[in-house]
């Protein structure tokens, strides 16, 4: 089954500011998909729209066979987890407390953690290789460490689809590579992962597919190596072909 099925989607801010239309895409289990494009083309708007955080102008967004408009917020949170750009509002939280927030859709408004919740939290910490950070406060973390903690929170939410907006922004090269490798590892369990990114060359090695946005054009979809070799990705990004070859 398709984890995410996008049909004839149109995004933007009203009819006088349509950023993209005729979007027909899907994410399958085990896929890591990279959303790429120039600044201002609408990548963050696209991410927010398919997560249900911004109204669509037209079309359908289907998660695991159900239209997202038919899902309650709690039900939606058991199917899709999101890591947006920006730091958490409270940096005084402990790493463990932040990751535990990922269990909120299951723990109820009191936040009482059952055995299964604690196991999911521990699994996410181990998978992201951040056991050494759990007692630290968020303000003590580097940007790379904080990004891994945010992904661990999304993992603890235990959804089939994880969407991340610029997960490697503001990271040094070592941490960019580590985060992409960890995201690729996550898909080995059958989860689908969608990221927006400007790290074209690094992401091309990790991603199974690129979705590329350009102003006034339909989305370009293809395996990174193929659309780089034929020059179509460079055309959409408005850069010389030899830059990525």
| 34-43 residue pLDDT tens | 999 999 999 9
* Distance from C-alpha of 167 to C-alpha of 193, rounded to nearest angstrom: 11
Same domain, 61 and 120: no
Which has the closest alpha carbon to 90: 53, 131, 137? 137
CA distance linking residue 29 with residue 192, whole number of Å = 5
Helix axes 173-187, 115-127, angle to 10 degrees: 130
| Residue 154 region by backbone torsions, left for phi larger than 0, else alpha for psi between -120 and 50, else beta | alpha
Q: Is the pLDDT of residue 23 over 90?
A: yes
Residue 244, SS3?
coil
Enclosing domain of residue 113: 87-158
Residues in the chain: 245
CATH number for 187: 3.40.50.300
Whether 51 and 109 map to the same domain: the answer is no
Q: Say yes or no: 129 and 151 in one domain.
A: yes
Final residue of a structural domain among 158, 177, 199: 158
pLDDT of residue 112: 82
| Beta strands per DSSP E along 38-184 | 58-63, 66-67, 80-83, 161-165
The pTM assigned to this predicted structure is 0.94
- 179 & 206 share domain: yes
- Regarding whether 236 and 173 lie in a shared domain, the answer is yes
pLDDT at 226 over 70: yes
């Amino acid at each position: 089954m398709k984890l995410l099925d996008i049909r004839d989607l149109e995004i933007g801010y009203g009819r006088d500011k349509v950023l993209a239309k005729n979007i027909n895409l899907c994410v399958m289990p085990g896929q890591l998909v990279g959303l790429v494009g120039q600044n201002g083309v609408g990548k963050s708007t696209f991410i927010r729209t398919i997560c249900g955080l911004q109204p669509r102008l037209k079309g359908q967004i289907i998660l695991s066979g159900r239209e997202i408009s038919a899902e309650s917020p709690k039900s939606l949170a058991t199917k899709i987890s999101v890591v947006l750009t920006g730091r958490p509002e409270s940096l005084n939280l402990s790493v463990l407390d932040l990751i535990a927030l990922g269990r909120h859709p299951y723990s109820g408004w009191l936040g009482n953690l059952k055995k299964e919740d604690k196991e999911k939290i521990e699994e996410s910490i181990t998978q992201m290789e951040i056991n050494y950070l759990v007692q630290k406060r968020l303000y003590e973390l580097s940007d790379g460490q904080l990004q891994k903690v945010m992904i661990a929170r999304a993992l603890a939410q235990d959804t089939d689809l994880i969407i991340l907006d610029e997960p490697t922004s503001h990271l040094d090269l070592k941490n960019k590579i580590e985060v992409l490798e960890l995201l690729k590892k996550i898909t080995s369990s059958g989860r689908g992962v969608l990221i927006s990114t400007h790290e074209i060359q690094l992401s091309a090695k990790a991603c199974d597919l690129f979705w590329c946005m350009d102003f006034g054009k339909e989305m370009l979809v293809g395996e990174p190596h193929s659309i780089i070799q034929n020059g179509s990705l460079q055309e959409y990004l408005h850069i010389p072909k030899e830059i990525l070859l």
